Amino acid sequence: MDRESKTCDVDWASLERDILVSIFQKLDENDRLSGVPLVCRSWYHASTDPFCWKHLDLQRWSQKSGTYAQLLNILQFVLEKRQAQLQSIVFPHQWTTENLVSYVTVKCPSLKSVTFTNCDQLLCRDILFRAFQSCSELETLSLNLSNDLPNDAWPELQRSCRSLRQLKLKGYTFYDIDIAHIAKHVKGIKALVLEFLYIYKEDVAHFLKACKELDSFILFYGEGFKMDPEILWLVSGIRDFRIFKLDCYNNMSY
C-alpha cells in the first residue's frame, strides 16, 4: 500500500526535460505526435526537443494507420518543424518511393542506421547512389532482398559509406543473387545478420570467407542450412556467433 501511495505521488510533469526526452524516444510515433504533447505543458515542450526524434519507424506507423500523403506530411513536420536529429530510420514496406528516400537522405545526412523493408522500388541505381552518397556516416544498413539490387550498388556502398559496420540481409533465398559480389564489397563489416527462409551452407560460407573482420555473425534460417566442420572452422574466431531456426515466415523480423 505504501509503495502504491509513493508511486501515485510522483509528479511526472516536474521531471527534468532530459529525462522526459529520454523516455519519449522509446515511444512509438503516434504517441510522440498526438499523445505526449497533450498531457501537460512540460511534456509538450519536451516533445518538441529535436532529440525526441532520433529514431523514426515509418513501417510501424504505416501498419497502424495513415496514407502516403499523411506519412509525407508527418515526415515533413518532424524534420522541419521539430528539426529532428534523425539518426535511424525504417522505411515503410508499401511506400518506399524515390521521392521519400531522396527527401530523407538529403535532409538527414547524419543518419547512422537505415532499414529498407522493401527493395522492390530501389532497383533504380540513381536512387541508391544518391542515398549512399548522402549517408556517408551510415553505420548500419538493413535490406530486404526480395529482388536483387543492381550490381553496381554494392561498390557504391563501399565507396560512399566507409563507416558501415553492420549489415542485415533478409529475404526468401539467395537464388540468382551474386553473393560473392556482395561479400567482396562489404568485407570490412564487423557484424552480419542473415535472415532467409531458404539458405544453404555454401551461401553462408561465401560471407564468412570474405568478411574476415566479423565480431558478430547471426543467422536465422528456415530450410537448407546444415552445420558442418567447415562452417565451424570459419566462425571459430568470431566472438558472437548465433544460429536460430525459423518455424515459419511469420517468425521473420522486420
Q: Determine the pLDDT at residue 90.
A: 93
Copy the grid coordinates of residue 207.
Answer: 560471407
Copy the grid coordinates of residue 171.
Answer: 529475404
Q: Determine the pLDDT at residue 76.
A: 87
Helix/strand number for the chain, H first, E second: 12, 8
Q: Determine the pLDDT at residue 252.
A: 56
Task: Give the rounded distance of the alpha carbon of 240 from its chain centre.
Answer: 20
Which residues, given as ranges, of the chain have pLDDT below 50?
Answer: 1, 5, 254
Domain range annotation of the chain: 1-49, 50-247
DSSP string over 147-160: SPPPTTHHHHHHHH
pLDDT digits (tens, 9 = 90+) for 46-96: 888 778 888 888 888 887 767 888 888 888 888 887 787 889 999 998 888
CB atoms within 10 A of CB 218: 15
Look up residue 184 and give its amino acid: K
Copy the grid coordinates of residue 76.
Answer: 515533413
Q: Determine the pLDDT at residue 12.
A: 64
Q: What is the distance between the alpha carbons of residues 11 and 62, in angstroms, rounded to a whole number?
A: 34
Q: Determine the pLDDT at residue 93.
A: 86
pTM for the model? 0.84
Q: Determine the pLDDT at residue 8.
A: 56
Class of domain 50-247: alpha beta
